[in-house]
Amino acid sequence: MSFPKDFTWGAAAAAYQIEGAWNLDGRGPSVWDVFSQTPGKVFENHTGNVACDHYHRWREDVELMGELGIKAYRLSLSWSRILPEGTGAVKEAGLKFYDDLIDSLLAAGIQPWVTLFHWDLPQALQGKGGFMNPDMVDWFGNYAAVVAKRLGARVNHWMTINEPPVILGSGYQDGMFAPGLKESYENCLSAAHILLKSHGRAVQVLRAHCQGPQQISIAHTSREPIPATDSAEDIEAARGRYFRCVEERMWNLAWWADPIVLGNYPEEGLKNFEKDLPTITDADMALISEPIDYLAYNCYSGSKVQAGPDGKAELSPEGWGIGNPRGTLPWLNIAPDAIYWAARWQTERYKLPIVFAENGFCNTDFVHLDGKAHDPQRIDFMTRYLTAVSRAITDGADVQGYFYWSILDNFEWAEGYKDRFGLGHVDYQTQVRTPKDSFYWYRDLIQRGGTLV
């Protein structure tokens, strides 16, 4: 496999999953504090109260990143550390934390790629309805302005929001994630429209207030249909399925990406979801389609589909088969074709450069008797997926970067600390970090510019 010279090799994490210090220095509670502290919501009632204690150990963690040799680190900001109530008074301590972290990343030669919002909405704003409240557009814009003014001279890469389908699908529709709501599809579509407008407002605000050059995106995710065979029919069926809007769910990629990049909701969704649609104005669409600079995409797994008798996709009856290789989370089938086709099809439809903002593998890694954290499966996983990325580039996709999820084991949302995605193992009793074998493998790969030995 081979990669362009200036390819962005990175790793990622998110505030609530690593920082801990949930109530220090004036930080306000977020929806994830409330959710995880409610018994029964998270595996064995784990919380992010301490997590990886990154809030106190960030210097050590940046050192580790320096050793890894990544060119970029994708972090998210805790909105309620900066604005404890979501709006209003700004906490200097919160801004200062990110200030120092960013300075130290830059000093280590690592570009900070900042996500404004990775799911930890200030609880005070949830109390006012969260994404159900149209004022969210102003709240988010105001927060983006505070951040841009403080960090915008040094941060050049931005993502507004991480994975809208998870925020609304898992948070507002299924209730499995914070804030744990079970709203009607009509309410979810209305929240989705408000979310898209909030994104657009943040893009405007970042452009207006950042003093440096900006590359701005939003991190999407979806379910990848993967052609069950390489027959032209199966490929065509899967490609069609990828962008369809048929289910009353939040997982329709085109529903999120078309408005932003193409300036309109997909016709098929407008037809299928007609009875549940909010009012959509031209002004809304203009705001939502504020130009972005690249597509950020989180890609892990997918489902095999084949062409049915009418040429449309159907789930391949064989599925993945018993015993297919996978991570410890049930949805994480090892499916490198997912990342290949995501790159190909998004390039075709959206004609923007792509950055994989997350890709990773979870397991039950532990430190072995020899004191090392051996994780051959992760190395194999990364080899397979990066080979697929390289193949997509050869076949015409403009993939400019790859962020491994995650730099460290961390709080895996409703799964608590059960599933480990990190390049660095974290002992949650002692907070000792042990680089896994994959950490050294990735370090060497980056050093060689992405060629395998």
Q: What are phi and psi of 298, to 5 degrees?
A: -100, 120
Of the candidates 163, 183, 290, 412, the residue annotated as catalytic is 163
In this complex, which beta carbon is closest to ligand GBH, that of residue 145 or of residue 195? 195
Largest CA-CA distance found in the chain, in angstroms, rounded? 63
Please state, in angstroms and rounded to a whole number, the distance separating the CA atoms of residues 192 and 204: 19
Give the residues across from 76 on adjacent strands. 115
Q: Radius of gyration over alpha carbons of the chain, in Å?
A: 21
Catalytic (active site) residue 412 = no
- State both tokens at 289: 């389609």
Q: What is 53-83 written as a DSSP string?
A: -HHHHHHHHHHHHHHHT-SEEEEE--HHHHS
Closest approach of ligand GBH to the CB of residue 283, in Å: 31
CA distance 390 to 131: 38
Provide the 8-state DSSP code for 27: P
CB count, 10 Å around CB of 56? 14
Strand partners, 373: 436
Q: Which residue is nearest to ligand GBH (CB)?
A: 331
Q: How far is the CB of 438 from ligand GBH (least distance, A)?
A: 16
Nearer to ligand GBH, 198 or 298 (CB): 298
CB of 330 to ligand GBH, least distance (A): 7
Contacts of 40 (CB under 8 A, 6+ apart): none
- Closest approach of Cβ 357 to ligand GBH, in Å? 8
Q: Which is nearer to ligand GBH, 287 or 388 (CB)?
A: 388
Q: How far apart are CA 390 and CA 406, in angstroms?
A: 20
Which C-beta is closer to ligand GBH: that of 150 or that of 223? 223
Question: 51 vs 388, which CB is nearer to ligand GBH?
Answer: 51
The residue whose two tokens read 């990143």 is 65
Residue 241: CB minimum distance to ligand GBH, A: 13
Alpha-carbon 186 to chain mean position: 25
Catalytic residue, candidates 183, 224, 358, 412? 358
Q: How far is the CB of 75 from ligand GBH (least distance, A)?
A: 12
Query: Which phi and psi angles does 434 have, rounded to 5°?
Result: -125, 115
List of residues contacting ligand GBH (CB under 6 A)? 14, 162-163, 166, 221, 223, 298, 300, 331, 358, 405, 412, 421
Nearer to ligand GBH, 44 or 274 (CB): 44
Q: Is 348 an annotated catalytic residue?
A: no
Residues designated as active site: 163, 358
